[in-house]
Structure 1
Amino acid sequence: MGRLVAAVVVVVLLAGGATAAWRTLSEEVRTLLPDECVAEVGPLRATLTPEQAENAALIAAIAVRRGLPARAVTIALATALQESRLRNIRYGDRDSLGLFQQRPSQGWGTRRQIMDPVYATHRFYDGLERVEGYRDLRVTEAAQRVQRSAFPEAYGQHEPEARALASALSGASPHAFGCRVGEPSVGDPATVRDEVTGVFADLVARPVVTGSTLTVGVPGRRTGWALAHYLVAQADRLGVRRVEYAGRAWDGDTGWAPDDSTLRRQVRVDVATV
């Protein structure tokens, strides 16, 4: 990749003036870089593919909806990172399936239920909430009491990136999660509206759709940033082109940047419809 980018630099610089060359270079380099999502909270950093980001954001959003603390999200994400690398896979050890590698034979549900990320995540949190004092346990111990893994200490290796993701995606760290997305898929504002309503339920107001723009009322900054980060994580799949909240705006090229918007109780979303 390094040699390829260097070659593009040389060709573009030889092709014309500095300003035009730089503009062309920026566009060419962007097309060479893979889509990726990054959570960065202080010294903690996690880098995900868009597929992983979609699942991580869903796991965090369900915890926000259930009123669970960021610690629960950290434990859930560390577990899913170890079990499936945050991919909803249809295979595993023996009859294990899905994000958390839950087993139908062990009473987690049917194969179809376990392959539904929403169902699987709720089942994980159901188990975690039955663990007395889980907030004060080590990630490895809390995860093991839910999962009963043969390799319990493996969960701990994912704690730093899980903490970064949990803090950002649960809304505790503003504009700390972003994705680099090429040309987003064409989306449908009605689909985005229905997903926001389905995932966040009565935590947010029903989105108002005006053309290709949605406006969603939020009760406070933490829910607002959880929703904003969720939409960024789903940008490629839902065709989200821009997200605005609390004086910041995100797009797939520049990430989060200061914005003139005065939105404090609303998240605004632009969807690519053409």
Structure 2
Amino acid sequence: MRAGLLIGCVAAAGITVLVAAGAVLVVDSQRQQAHAAPVSCNAALGPTQPGQQNRGTNDAANLTEEQLGTVSLIISIGKERELSPRAWQVAIQAGMTESGLRNVHYGDRDSLGIFQMRPSMGWGSPEQVTDPAYAVNKFYDVLESIPDWEELRPGDAAQAVERSAFPDRYHRWEPMAVHLVETMGEVSDAAGCGTGLGAVLPPNEEAADAIEFALDERGDPYVWGATGPDSYDCSGLMLRAYEAAGITLPRVSRDQYKAGAMLPVEEAQPGDLVFWAYDSSDPTTIHHVAMYLGDGKIVEAQQSGVPVHTRDFSFDEAGLVPQAVRPGV
């Protein structure tokens, strides 16, 4: 339905939205909290697909004693080096992707060990890279040398270390890795998002203004590439909605995904952005974005022939990206 849409829409956190008799009423009685200190998190540390909340647990349940021993080593060395749980997660995702968390003595060309390190590329001797403790420490050494690695999605940080020809494959193991960090590493809330994050991040005036703008545009036609004032595509509508609220957003949906604080999509609050992708685990395939209104409703510029509108929304929709985004936070 949304195939071919390469541009999306955006929103920010805000007010309460009530739905009655088909009409959306924006209630901003809490605007006095607008400028409270924001709290942010990175839900990409361990998202689960909507409707598949047990995926990480189920994947971890299939690990062998050898694999769990590798995880234990990664975590223990990470603790000894006083590295953050995010570093442990990056290493777990890399090890699972490269070797299935096994100390293998074979691989592509001269790749060896847990992380498929190549002696010919300066990772160490064959004996060293197949020594699990050496391999884990070497992985952490390179990870720490990457500028701002903690700001990257864990799978992207793993790719920065491994430099694989298949850069997106590390994302597959995010849910399992965060589960292992929390259980074996004894870390509560490894994703850093807490329980019910939406209630922790206060409504803000900008979100209220953005929602008001988007709702006022209902009935305007969808035109691919349009940014108003009389027609919009999905990201064009969000661009102008937040511009009206004093927040500048990138033009396209894939960039708007990076334009705020992330939180689990199930915790989205009015004004937050929700995204759809051809592969919901890969943000580079995002093709549509809408503004969440609360109470199971969104406002969007959906596709040709359909004007800007509000509609019912489910967190189990096919292609929904596991993270929502809160612009301006």
What is the TM-score normalised by the length of structure 1? 0.47
Q: Which has the higher helix share?
A: 1
1 or 2 for the larger relative contact order (CA 8 Å, sep ≥6)? 2
Report the structure number with the largest CA radius of gyration: 2
